[in-house]
Every structure is written in C-alpha cells, then in structure tokens.
Amino acid sequence: MIVAVQLPTVGTTSAEGTMEVAASLAGLARAGDLVVLCGDLGAGKTAFTQGFGRAMGVTSPITSPTFTLANRYLGTSLTLNHLDVYRLNQIEEVRDLGLDELVDSRSVTLVEWGDAIAGALPGGYLEVRISLGSGPDDRFMDFRIVGSEWSDREAGLLALTAGGDGC
C-alpha cells in the first residue's frame, strides 16, 4: 500500500512568491528526489521549477520543456532534470524517457503534469499541486508526500507550508 501524507496549503500572491516557496523546497531536496508538479496550464509549474533551480544554483535560464520533454541543468552540487509530460499519452513514450536513469544519485527531477504518469514513476515522490485563486496572481499550493522517500522531511515541509507570502 502506498502511503500519502497531505500537508497544509500554502498561498502566494505573485510568481516570485511561488518561486520562493520552491526555493525553500529545494533546500530540503537531495539527490535522487522526484517532485511531481500538477495544475492547469498557467498555474505556475514552470515558475515553480525556475525558483527551485535558482536555489540549486542553476544559472542558465529554465524554460518550459513542453516540446523537448526533458531538460537538464547543472546546479552547484546537483543536476536538475525538468520534464513536461503533458504531450505524453502512451506508456511507451513514458518508458522512452528513461525516468529510472534520470532519477539518479546526482539529480533532482521535477516533472510537470507528472500526475498523469503517476503509475509509471519510479518510487515515491512529493506532489505539488498548484491551483488558481480568485485574483489573477493568487495561487494555492498543496503538498502531498507519496511513498516513503520524502517522509523523513515531513517536519521541514510543515515549516515550509507555514510560510508563503500571506495569501
């Protein structure tokens, strides 16, 4: 049975606010981690990844991998894999991504629309679900630990969800 732990919702009122939450999450991340980003088009999954990468020391611009499927960026001590599986509708295409190799001992992997391929993901992950709020720049983020890989960081995640920018 896969255990899932839901954490409190975090609100932000700007893209920068979301990037800061993502940066805090990057502070908890370690090699081999998998983060699944869910939410509609324009929710802020790529913005979240930009904040995450910035905190990892990625200096090159992080752009949407919608057409390339997977981008790889060198951070200070870890590599960031950024995937967008929006287009994928066949399980073979997911296999072709070689997720098992990407989620390796030197990288952290963020997958946009990863909920669509949850069954094909190697091991547990942290799910970040971004929803739109009432104002144009309001967003809500819900974190969920799926499986065991992130469970020893529940306290850190709780501290992070106590932050946000006051939305």
Q: Of these, 10, 25, 43, 58, which contacts ligand ADP (CB under 6 A)?
A: 43
Handedness of CA 94, 68, 83, 85 (dihedral sign): negative
Q: Of these, 5, 7, 15, 116, which contacts ligand ADP (CB under 6 A)?
A: 15
Q: Of these, 38, 45, 52, 150, which contacts ligand ADP (CB under 6 A)?
A: 45
> How far from chain centre, in Å, is Cα 84?
11
CB of 166 to ligand ADP, least distance (A): 12
Interface contacts to Mg ion, rule CB under 5 A:
45-46, 64, 112
Cβ-proximal residue to Mg ion, closest one: 46
CB of 22 to Mg ion, least distance (A): 13
Backbone angles phi, psi at 41, to 5 degrees: -55, 130
- For 86-110, give one letter per residue: b (16+ CB within 10 A) or e: bebeeeeebeebebeebbeeebbbb
C-beta closer to Mg ion: residue 45 or 139: 45
